[in-house]
Amino acid sequence: MKLMIFLFLTTLFWGVAAIFDKMALGKTAPFAGMMVRQFILTGIIFVMALSSGRLGGMGTLDWRSVLFFGLSGICGGAAGLWTYYHALRLGGASMVVPITATYPLITALLSWAILQESFTVTRLIGTALIVLGVWLVK
């Protein structure tokens, strides 16, 4: 049940964020938008870490975790957000968001190839439905 609540809230927050992003990008360069978003996010996370006493947890990270979190930040936070903002500025949110939301297709394929996760028939059908959904939206 807890998992479903977090999945629902994540979907809700990301869906609402896309609307705010589209509204903000009217006359704003995507890179400027990225900076504002990241500065605010960094400030919120810093205040939360200080107030909860979790700032010291940074010292417990091993180099491998730091490397992979860094690569994730580069791919999802910097490169992905930059290209997403450009796409959102050029196209409608109702088209851009569903198409960019097909990233689970990439994740499923890479999880199978790199993480050696199983690729079941139901996952194959789900992945095919993602591709079909993109084709229908465009």
pLDDT in tens, 109-131: 899 999 999 888 898 898 888 88
What is the residue extent of each domain of the chain? Answer: 2-89, 102-138
CB 119 within 8 A of CB 108: yes
In this prediction, residue 101 carries a pLDDT of: 86
pLDDT in tens, 32-51: 999 999 999 999 999 999 99
Quick one: CA dihedral 116, 120, 123, 129, positive or negative? positive
- State the pLDDT confidence band at 71, using cuts at 50, 70 and 90: very high
Across residues 91-112, what is the average pLDDT? 88
Among the listed residues 137, 131, 122, the one whose alpha carbon sits nearest the alpha carbon of residue 102: 131
Q: Considering the chain, what percentage of its residues have pLDDT values greater than 90? A: 58
Residue 105 in this model has a pLDDT that exceeds 90: no
In this prediction, residue 18 carries a pLDDT of: 92
- Cβ neighbours of residue 130 closer than 8 Å, sequence gap 6 or more: 102, 104, 105
Instruction: Please tell me the distance from the alpha carbon of residue 37 to that of residue 23, in angstroms, as a whole number.
Output: 14
- State the pLDDT confidence band at 55, using cuts at 50, 70 and 90: confident
Quick one: CA dihedral 112, 116, 118, 121, positive or negative? positive
